[in-house]
Amino acid sequence: MKKILAIAWKDTLERFSSRSELLFFLILPLLFTFLLGGGFAAPGDKEPGIPLPVVDEDGGALARALVEVLQDSGVIAPERMTREQAQSLFDRGDVPAWLEVPRGFEAAALAGGPAGLTLHLAPEDREAARAQQAVLSAVDEVGRSLRVALFSLQVRQRRAPFVNRQERQAYLMEARALAEARLARMPELVQLTAPPEALSDQGGGFDAAGHNAAGQLVTWVFIPLLGTSALMAYERSNGTLRRLLTTPTGKPIFLLGTITGQLGQAIVQMALLVGFGMLVMGVNWGYSPLALAAVLLAFALASVALGTALGAFVRSGGQAGSISVLGGMAMALLGGAWWPLELFPQAVRSAVAVLPTTWAMRGLTELVLRGGGLPEVLPAVAVLLGFAALFFALGVWGFRYE
15 with 307: CB under 8 angstroms? Answer: no
**Claim to verify: residue 54 and residue 33 sit in the same structural domain:** no
How many other C-beta atoms can be found within 10 angstroms of the C-beta atom of residue 127? Answer: 16
Q: How many residues does the chain have?
A: 402
- Residue 54: pLDDT over 80: yes
In a domain, 113, yes or no: yes
**Claim to verify: residue 177 and residue 277 sit in the same structural domain:** no
In a domain, 197, yes or no: no
- Give the pLDDT confidence score for residue 174 in this predicted structure: 85
- Residue 327: pLDDT over 60: yes
**Claim to verify: residue 224 and residue 356 sit in the same structural domain:** yes
The 8-class DSSP code of residue 128 comes to H
Q: What is the pLDDT of residues 358-385, one digit of tens each?
A: 999 999 999 988 888 999 999 999 999 9
Q: What is the pLDDT of residues 208-260, one digit of tens each?
A: 788 889 999 999 999 988 888 877 777 777 766 666 656 666 667 777 888 88
Query: CA nearest 274: which of 264, 265, 284?
Result: 284
State the residue range of the domain holding 370: 2-37+210-398
The Cα–Cα gap between 132 and 99 comes to 10
**Claim to verify: residue 283 and residue 332 sit in the same structural domain:** yes
Pairing of strands 76-80, 50-56: parallel
Which of the residue ranges 131-140, 185-194, 268-277 would you say has the lowest mean pLDDT?
185-194
Query: Could you tell me the strand order of the sheet in which 97-101 lies?
Result: 76-80, 50-56, 97-101, 118-121
Percent of the chain with pLDDT over 70: 87
**Claim to verify: residue 262 and residue 383 sit in the same structural domain:** yes
- Give the pLDDT confidence score for residue 191 in this predicted structure: 57
- Give the pLDDT confidence score for residue 311 in this predicted structure: 83
More confident residue, 234 or 311: 311
- Considering just the CA atoms, what is the radius of gyration of the chain in Å? 30
**Claim to verify: residue 179 and residue 93 sit in the same structural domain:** yes
State how many domains the chain has: 2
The 8-class DSSP code of residue 283 comes to -
**Claim to verify: residue 271 and residue 322 sit in the same structural domain:** yes
* Average pLDDT value for residue range 193-221: 69
More confident residue, 382 or 24: 382
- Give the pLDDT confidence score for residue 242 in this predicted structure: 66
In a domain, 306, yes or no: yes
How many other C-beta atoms can be found within 10 angstroms of the C-beta atom of residue 324? Answer: 24
In a domain, 156, yes or no: yes
Q: What is the pLDDT of residues 76-126, one digit of tens each?
A: 899 999 999 999 999 999 999 999 999 888 788 777 667 788 999 998 788
- Residue 45: pLDDT over 70: no
Residue type, 309: A
Q: Give the DSSP H/E element, type plus range, for residue 3.
A: helix 2-15
- Give the pLDDT confidence score for residue 244 in this predicted structure: 62
In a domain, 164, yes or no: yes
- Give the pLDDT confidence score for residue 353 in this predicted structure: 93
Compute CA distances 117 → 71, 103, 105, 109, whole Å: 17, 10, 8, 11
In a domain, 341, yes or no: yes
More confident residue, 20 or 51: 51
**Claim to verify: residue 248 and residue 285 sit in the same structural domain:** yes
Q: What is the pLDDT of residues 133-171, one digit of tens each?
A: 889 888 888 788 878 888 888 888 888 888 887 888 788
- Residue 185: pLDDT over 80: no
- Give the pLDDT confidence score for residue 402 in this predicted structure: 61
- Give the pLDDT confidence score for residue 188 in this predicted structure: 58
Compute CA distances 248 → 3, 11, 173, 253, 402, whole Å: 10, 19, 94, 9, 18
Query: Can you give the pTM of this predicted structure?
Result: 0.62
- Give the pLDDT confidence score for residue 39 in this predicted structure: 58
Query: CA nearest 136: which of 84, 53, 194, 73?
Result: 73
- Give the pLDDT confidence score for residue 250 in this predicted structure: 64
Start-to-end Cα distance in the chain: 25
**Claim to verify: residue 298 and residue 342 sit in the same structural domain:** yes
- Residue 198: pLDDT over 50: no
**Claim to verify: residue 138 and residue 216 sit in the same structural domain:** no
Q: How many whole angstroms from its chain centre is CA 104? A: 44
Q: Which residues contact 266 (CB under 8 A, 6 or more apart)?
A: 221, 224, 225, 300, 303, 304
CATH code, domain carrying 77: 3.40.190
- Give the pLDDT confidence score for residue 42 in this predicted structure: 47
The Cα–Cα gap between 213 and 279 comes to 12
In a domain, 199, yes or no: no
Of 149, 184, 219, which marks where a domain is finished?
Answer: 184
136 with 142: CB under 8 angstroms? Answer: no
**Claim to verify: residue 10 and residue 74 sit in the same structural domain:** no
**Claim to verify: residue 249 and residue 141 sit in the same structural domain:** no
Compute CA distances 159 → 146, 174, 179, 327, whole Å: 20, 18, 20, 73
The Cα–Cα gap between 15 and 24 comes to 11
In a domain, 309, yes or no: yes
- Give the pLDDT confidence score for residue 201 in this predicted structure: 44
- Residue 263: pLDDT over 60: yes
Residue 2 binned pLDDT confidence (cut-offs 50, 70, 90): confident
What is the average pLDDT value for the chain, to the nearest integer? 83
- Give the pLDDT confidence score for residue 4 in this predicted structure: 78
- Give the pLDDT confidence score for residue 204 in this predicted structure: 44
The Cα–Cα gap between 230 and 311 comes to 6
- Give the pLDDT confidence score for residue 94 in this predicted structure: 92
